[in-house]
Structure 1
Amino acid sequence: MATGTTGGRKTGQSTARRTSRRAPRPTGTTYEAREHARAQEGARAAAMPQVPAPEGLLWSETVAGGGYTHKVLARGSELRLADPTGDACAHVLLFVDGRPWERLNAADTVKVQWNAYLGAGRLLLSDQGRVLASLVSDTSGRHDTLCGTSSAARNTARYGDGSAQGRSPAGRELFLLAAAKNGLGARDLPPSLSFFQGLRVEPDGALEFIGSAGPGTSVTLRAEQPLTVLLANVPHPLDPRPAYTCGPLEVRARPGAATAPGDPLWDATPEGRRAFLNTAEHLTARGIG
């Protein structure tokens, strides 16, 4: 039985049991519990991974609002995140697989590219001056590089609960669960970026929440190094809606090729070209480039 995560909880067998139309089975003994569990084979919930992924895909999953997921992706993989309802908010952390000390640096992503706004053609950078992922397509334009994700204290104050297993889980608490499944801990978690709920910086420095571009938008990231990807789908910290509101997030990844010299993205800006050269030099020395 495939398992995923939603609201900090597994979305496999237990969720399938709730959504199945099959008659309840007794579970008073180990044998009865085993038969009950096996009877759920083939049942699906609205939010869970497809295992195995459909042909041509490396990863296919729907993450419920208040849920999280994670995956290791090969260099060149294309990761498509989609917001079918207009209420998803995909908080993203990236780590170089096997070298987690090289990880997403939101400050350098903004600083090096002279721009706080994400969109097609932008690069997600590490603090080593190298490209972790490139944003190759974007139909949303509503993203955030500045606020990070929500905390347990904030969600408890606002919604009454911020625990990973609670009714309004915080993004950081979900990241901690995803991190632990990849041998990482709290000290490994930097500020995250988020997609599908945007903000703008006012001339006086105030942050204005501008929300979603609406249902049906997507972004596609290309892995420029082997990556460990952590995703938490929770409301944006500045979302003004009083209720904990977050729609499903569709996640699809397929094989592809990393950006190479001659690709327009490689030479789009002097800063980007230097980051790609730094990345290529590093990977070539490791026998990967």
Structure 2
Amino acid sequence: MTPADQHQTDTVLAARDDARARAGQTSAWMPYLPASSSPHCPVDVDPATLTWAETVAPGGYTHKIVARGTRIRLEDPTGEACAHVVVYNALETVERLNVADTQKIPWQAYLGAGHPLLSGDGRVLATLASDTSGHHDAFCGTSTEAWNRHKYGAAMPEGPTPAGSSLLLKAAVKHGLSARDLPPSVSFFQGVRVDPDGDFSWTGSAGAGTSVELLAELPLLVLVANVPHPLDPRPVYVVGPLRVHAWRSTPTGPGDERFDATPELHRAYLNTLDYAEARGL
């Protein structure tokens, strides 16, 4: 702190005046309050309907509880974002994303439009309702502190090379959860494919301007860490900003193409509908 800065805060009144003088300052990485004030609102969305709008910093994280039927659009404006996502049933957080069932029930390990994110209780927590990227991963999870220390030399969550696991834990703690409550995440915008010999190959990004939309089939607690994919071969910590916008919509129900797409998905959506209707959602 410089002497001038200290002089501005050397009394309670001076500190108050200094804090109030900073009230109008903004950051490129911040929630937009109200959400309708977002300068990046998608062109096909009415700003007045937004319930969540935020730009997540490279190496940053966010979290939110959203209502059933909320549509959440994640956007990669630079081609360098990597959104590591975990979702929970907000009413009972013991029900959470199960990556194995998310791959097994639809008989498809690669995430894409129409893919459900399932819990271990046989219910669909969210549906990947649209996808213009196609570069995602449900195999590797997010980065750990040990991995980041090995690769980048440091992993402090407050530092320049935070691990995704640490950021997801910081978000989880704000909702009364702990490390034992964190399941493996799925990742959007940086792809992985399985080679014929069983090895993983990082396919990188589809490029700038792509997006995915998640449809909340139950009230959700959403945790997001925006960090490099652990298989990113680049030796430096590279990640771009991530944009998040959410608005009220309608959950998947009878009559929707996804609801009856396969016998397995039909049962999963029925289980979800049964849970929601019993609670008056």
Q: Counterparts of 1:146 and 1:32 in 2: how far apart (Å)?
A: 53
Residue 98 of structure 1 deviates from its aligned partner by 2.4
Q: Counterparts of 1:260 and 1:42 in 2: how far apart (Å)?
A: 44
- Structure 2 counterpart of 1:12: none
- Structure 2 counterpart of 1:50: 32
Residue 29 of structure 1 deviates from its aligned partner by 2.5
Secondary structure of residue in 2 paired with 1:278: helix
Number of residue pairs the alignment of both structures matches:
266
- Structure 1 counterpart of 2:132: 139
Q: Counterparts of 1:250 and 1:284 in 2: how far apart (Å)?
A: 32
- Structure 2 counterpart of 1:87: 80
Structure 2 unaligned blocks of 5 or more: 37-47
- Structure 1 counterpart of 2:165: 172
Of 43, 52, 69, 1:59 maps to: 52
- Structure 2 counterpart of 1:228: 221
Of 104, 115, 119, 1:111 maps to: 104
Q: Counterparts of 1:89 and 1:41 in 2: how far apart (Å)?
A: 31
Q: Kindly report which structure 2 residues correspond to 1:12-91, keeping only aligned pairs within 5 A, or say none.
A: 26-54=8-36, 55-91=48-84
Secondary structure of residue in 1 paired with 2:148: helix
Residue 148 of structure 1 deviates from its aligned partner by 0.3
- Structure 2 counterpart of 1:96: 89
Secondary structure of residue in 1 paired with 2:244: strand
1:198 aligns with 2:191: yes
Q: Counterparts of 1:237 and 1:157 in 2: how far apart (Å)?
A: 11
Secondary structure of residue in 2 paired with 1:127: coil
Residue 44 of structure 1 deviates from its aligned partner by 1.1
Q: Counterparts of 1:47 and 1:101 in 2: how far apart (Å)?
A: 31
- Structure 1 counterpart of 2:42: none
Structure 1 range deviating more: 158-167 or 214-223: 158-167
2:175 maps to amino acid: N
Secondary structure of residue in 2 paired with 1:118: coil
Deviation per CA, 1:199-243, whole angstroms, max 9, x where unpaired?
110111100000000000000000000000000000000000111
Structure 1 unaligned blocks of 5 or more: 1-22
Secondary structure of residue in 2 paired with 1:91: strand
Q: Provide TM-score, normalisation by structure 2.
A: 0.92
Q: Counterparts of 2:60 and 2:118 in 1: how far apart (Å)?
A: 25
Residue 112 of structure 1 deviates from its aligned partner by 1.1
Identity %: 59
2:119 maps to amino acid: S
Residue 178 of structure 1 deviates from its aligned partner by 0.2
Q: Provide TM-score, normalisation by structure 1.
A: 0.90
